[in-house]
Structure 1
């Protein structure tokens, strides 16, 4: 039986719902480690899509020269190259950020200064490695 003499209390409201509107400032401010966390998830999804692309490429290879030529033409077009460039960048960032997480699992690098430095390192590695791979691909005629 409920006590009707006590007023009904409303459930607690998340602070996200109380702030960030037109009147009050947002509760969270963006920072580098937040960005890299979101990018890690996004690049994981991109790599999944890239895996599906590799599967489609392999199936086209098994279906014969005509079908393989169609897929090769699609991947060799400018939009295809942009997608593959993005997948290369995603792969290297996801790799670097995964290593960063492995280091964190040992209890190291968790302070703000180290976390920010490792975020910059992961981003820099991803960009440098992607550009290096595409530069080598250009030199060897793979593009």
Structure 2
């Protein structure tokens, strides 16, 4: 049947179609797509953060030795990297959730507003994270 002269080519997804010169796909990544994906990823990261908070509470309940070990783990370089990532996740997810509240009101759906909102989410997450970690460094909490 595929050899019949009336057989047409099957449609192809837009992200697989190449441009007029055959060099670049017509479909490309946008900042709003990254924001959407990272909103979900930071939500998952916050679940991990919840487990860390639970481990903190359990270590407190188990006494000074367990809490000392918990602090040593989080005070290590990998622990600080995880905590920095969780800080970014909190602020990114917070800002992205705020944008969703704006969308729930029916605003911000046009392309210019959606792109600007995504840029503001990244900027807020970076600035707030650096501010918190800067304050922690200045007060000796690191």
Residue 86 (structure 2) pairs with residue 76 (structure 1): no
Match of 1:59 in 2: 58
**Residue in structure 2 matching 1:19, options 9, 16, 19:** 16
**Structure 1 residues 65, 89: closer, same or farther in 2, change over 3 A?**
same
**Structure 1 residues 78, 20: closer, same or farther in 2, change over 3 A?**
farther
Give the TM-score normalised by structure 2: 0.84
Give the TM-score normalised by structure 1: 0.83
Hey, what's the Cα distance between the residues in 1 that align with 2:71 and 2:124? 29
Match of 2:69, SS state, is helix
Unaligned 5+ segments in structure 1 are: 1-11
> Over residues 76-102 of structure 1, what are the superposed CA-to-partner deviations in whole Å (9 max), with x where a residue is unaligned?
011100100000000000000000011
1:59-138 to 2 correspondences below 5 Å: 59-138=58-137
**Structure 1 residues 79, 105: closer, same or farther in 2, change over 3 A?**
same
Hey, what's the Cα distance between the residues in 1 that align with 2:121 and 2:85? 16
Match of 1:102, SS state, is helix
Hey, what's the Cα distance between the residues in 1 that align with 2:57 and 2:68? 12
Match of 2:87, SS state, is helix
Shift of 1:29: 1.0
Match of 1:129, SS state, is helix
4+ residue stretches of structure 1 with deviation over 2 A? Answer: 12-16, 18-21, 23-28
1:29-44 to 2 correspondences below 5 Å: 29-44=28-43
State the number of aligned residues: 130
**Structure 1 residues 115, 135: closer, same or farther in 2, change over 3 A?**
same
